[in-house]
Amino acid sequence: MTQPQTQIKEPSFRESVDIMFNRAVKLLDLPAGLEEKIRVCNSTYTVRFGVRLRGEIKTFTGYRSVHSEHMEPVKGGIRYATGVNQDEVEALAALMTYKCSLVEAPFGGSKGGLCIDPREYEEHELELITRRFAYELVKRDLINPAQNVPAPDMGTSGREMAWIADQYQRMNTTDINGKACVTGKPLNAGGIAGRVEATGRGVQYALREFFRYPEDVAMTSLSGGLAGKRVVVQGLGNVGYHAAKFLQEEDNCVITGIIERDGAIVNEAGLDVEAVFAWIGENGGVKGFPGAEYFENGASVLENDCDILVPAALEGVINLSNAANIKAPLIIEAANGPVTSGADDILREKGAVIIPDMYANAGGVTVSYFEWVKNLSHIRFGRMQRRQEEARNSLVIEQLEELSNAMGDTWSLGDTFKEKYLQGAGELELVRSGLDDTMRSAYQSMRKVWHERSDVPDLRMAAYYVAIDKVAESYRAKGL
Ligand code: NAD
C-alpha cells in the first residue's frame, strides 16, 4: 500500500540530481574545482510580468535557468505547469547538460518554466502570455539562436514555439537565422519532420536497442524481444502517447495500463492507445473508457504487475513511498526525474533495471538539434539528394533487369522491393535514421561502461559517467 508522501523525507528534485551526479563524479577522479564547476547551475533568471486579461492585470512568474555553457547555444525546453519553481528548473537544466553531452548534441544545458495551468486560458490569452514571456527572455538573450534555444516541454507544444519564434523575429528583424531561436516548431513555421513524435520515438528506439542485448535483458527477469511485453504507461501526453502508440503498433507490445491525471485504466488483454487518446480528448480524462477497469488512485497502477513501466508524466512519481511495491523489472524513464534518488536505491537492490531519463527521453533534443541545423542551413534535409539517389537506384534496377532478360532468365525483382529500393530518403526518413543512430550509439557508450567497470552499478551511473566525462573534456579543452 502506498504511504502518504508527507511522512517521508525525500530530497528535492535538484538534490536528487546532485546526489546522482556526486556518486558518478567520484568515479571520474576530476579536480575538485572542476567537479564543482560542472555541478553548479551557472545562472537562473526569474521574471515576473503582468498581462491584461479579462479586464484585469494578472502577474505571472517564469524562469530560465542556464546550467552549463561549456557549449553554446544552451538548450532546454520551456514548461508550463503550476508546480514550476526554481529548484525544478535548475534540476531540469542540469539534466539537459548531461543529456546533450551523452547523445553528442553540441549544446550546453538550460531549462525554462512558467507557473501557469495552461488549461485555464483561452488560446488567444495563452498567445499574449507566451509572447510577453518570450519578450522578457529575448531582450536578455535568454532566447537567441546562438546562445539559448528553447523547445517544448510539459504543457507546451509547437504552437507556443511558433509564437516564440515569431516574437524573436519581430524583435530581431535582420537576424537571418531567427527561426533557429527555438525548436519544436510546427513544420510550416520552420520545424522539421518527425519532431512532434521524436521523444516518444526515441523511447521506442531506446527499448529496441536494450532488447538487442540478451545479456542486458537477462539483468531483468525478462527474456526474448519486445513483442508481447506488457507495458504500463503514466501520462498520455506528447511523450507517453507516442511511445505507447509506437510500441503497440510497431513492436506488438501490450499496453495493459494507462495512468492519467484523473485516474488509471487497466485491461490485461491490452488497451487501444489511439482509442484511449481520442477518449481523453473528448472526455478530459480516462474515466469511463469502455472495456477497462478504472482506478481513481491512478498512482496505485504504477505498482501493477507488468514487464515494462513507462513513467512519462512528471518527476518524483516513484519515490520512497512506493518504490518497494514497484513490480516492473524494467523501467524506462520517459519523463524527467520520475524516480527519486532514494527510490533508485531501493529499485536497484530489488534488481530492477532503469533506463535513465537522460538517455531515454533524449530523442526530443536530438531531433531539435537537427531542426536547429536545418534552420541555420535554410534548406530541408534531403532536398538536394533525394531524386538523384532515386535516379541512381533506378539505374541499378534497370541494369539488373536488362541483364536478366539478356541471359534469358525468368526471375525478376519483386514490386515491393523495387518500390522500397527506388525511394530516395526524404526529411522524415533522414531524421528517423539520425535519431535511431543516436539512440543506438548512446546506449552502446553507456553499456560499455556499465559492463566494463565493476564500480558502475547501473545504467544511470553509466550515463552520468559518460556525460560528465565529456563535459569535463570540453572544459579542459577551454583551459579550465
Ligand atoms: P505533456 O504536457 O504533453 O503530457 C503530460 C501528460 O501527463 C498529460 O497527458 C497530463 O495529463 C499527464 N499528467 C499530468 N499529471 C499527471 C499525473 N499526476 N498522473 C498521471 N498523468 C499526469 O508533456 P510531455 O511533453 O509529454 O512531457 C512529459 C515528460 O517528458 C516531462 O517530464 C518532460 O520534461 C519530459 N520530456 C518531454 C520532452 C518533449 O519533447 N516534449 C522531451 C524530453 C523530456
Residue among 89, 159, 199, 277 whose CB has most ligand 1 atoms within 8 A, to mutate: 199
pLDDT mean across residues, the chain: 95
Question: Which atom of ligand 1 sits closest to the CA of residue 155?
Answer: 2
- Cα-based angle 233, 256, 339 (whole degrees, multiple of 5): 30
pLDDT at 403: 87
Residue 82 CA to ligand 1 centre (angstroms): 13
Choose the CATH number for 40-189 among 1.10.150.120, 3.20.20.70, 3.40.50.10860, 3.30.479.10. Answer: 3.40.50.10860
* Lowest model confidence (mean pLDDT) among 10-14, 39-43, 46-50, 168-172: 10-14
**Could you give the C-alpha distances from 99 to 151, 258, 370, in angstroms and in order?**
14, 27, 15
Query: Nearest to residue 280, comparing CAs of 267, 261, 299, 293?
Result: 261
The structural domains of the chain, with segments of one domain joined by +, span 40-189, 198-362
| Nearest residue (CA) to ligand 1, atom 34 | 336
Read off the C-alpha cell for 114.
Answer: 512558467
Tell the residue number behind the cell numbers 518524483, with chain if given. Answer: 316
What are the tens digits of pLDDT across the range 252-282?
Answer: 999 999 999 999 999 999 999 999 999 999 9
Q: Is 111 one of the annotated active-site residues of the chain? A: yes
pLDDT at 271: 98
**Could you give the C-alpha distances from 78 to 116, 153, 155, 156, in angstroms and in order?**
12, 5, 9, 7
Q: What is the DSSP string of 139-182?
A: TTTSSBTTTEE--B-TT--HHHHHHHHHHHHHH-TT-TTGGGGS
Tell the residue number behind the cell numbers 542540469, with chain if given. Answer: 94
Catalytic residue among 26, 75, 99, 111: 111
Residue 142 CA to ligand 1 centre (angstroms): 24
Tell me the residue type at 409.
D
Residue 79 CA to ligand 1 centre (angstroms): 10
Q: Is the pLDDT of residue 389 over 70?
A: yes
| Assigned CATH class of 198-362 | alpha beta
Q: Is the pLDDT of residue 168 over 60?
A: yes
Residue among 78, 154, 199, 246 whose CB has most ligand 1 atoms within 8 A, to mutate: 154
| Nearest residue (CA) to ligand 1, atom 15 | 261
Residue 336 CA to ligand 1 centre (angstroms): 9
What are the tens digits of pLDDT across the range 282-297?
Answer: 999 999 999 999 999 9
Question: Which atom of ligand 1 sits closest to the CA of residue 362?
Answer: 43
Residue 307 CA to ligand 1 centre (angstroms): 21
Tell the residue number behind the cell numbers 488509471, with chain if given. Answer: 264
Residue among 5, 238, 301 whose CB has most ligand 1 atoms within 8 A, to mutate: 238
* Lowest model confidence (mean pLDDT) among 223-227, 377-381, 404-408: 404-408
pLDDT at 404: 84
| Nearest residue (CA) to ligand 1, atom 43 | 361
Residue 46 CA to ligand 1 centre (angstroms): 23
Partners of 53 in the β-ladder: 56
Tell the residue number behind the cell numbers 526529411, with chain if given. Answer: 427
Residue among 65, 102, 153, 309 whose CB has most ligand 1 atoms within 8 A, to mutate: 153
Residues having CB closer than 6 A to ligand 1 are: 152-155, 199, 234-240, 259-261, 298, 312-314, 334-336, 361, 364
- Intra-chain end-to-end CA distance of the chain, in Å: 50
CATH fold match for the domains 40-189 and 198-362 = yes
> What whole-number distance in Å separates Cα of residue 218 and Cα of residue 215?
5
Question: Which atom of ligand 1 sits closest to the CA of residue 264?
Answer: 20
* Lowest model confidence (mean pLDDT) among 21-35, 312-326, 406-420: 406-420
> What whole-number distance in Å separates Cα of residue 229 and Cα of residue 307?
6
CB 68 within 8 A of CB 109: yes
Q: Is the pLDDT of residue 6 over 80?
A: no
> Region 27-53: what's the mean pLDDT?
94
Read off the C-alpha cell for 359.
Answer: 538517455
Residue 74 CA to ligand 1 centre (angstroms): 22
> What whole-number distance in Å separates Cα of residue 396 and Cα of residue 49?
63
Q: What are phi and psi of 370, to 5 degrees?
A: -60, -40
* Lowest model confidence (mean pLDDT) among 21-30, 369-378, 458-467: 21-30
CB 389 within 8 A of CB 424: yes
| Nearest residue (CA) to ligand 1, atom 28 | 313
Give the number of C-alpha atoms closer than 13 A to the C-alpha of residue 53, restricted to the C-beta side: 18
| Nearest residue (CA) to ligand 1, atom 42 | 364
pLDDT at 1: 44
pLDDT at 7: 56
Question: Which atom of ligand 1 sits closest to the CA of residue 236?
Answer: 9
Question: Which atom of ligand 1 sits closest to the CA of residue 338?
Answer: 32
In this structure, is the dihedral angle defined by the CA atoms of residues 453, 459, 464 and 466, taken in order, positive or negative?
Answer: positive
Query: What stretch of H or E contains 234?
Result: strand 230-234
Residue 241 CA to ligand 1 centre (angstroms): 10
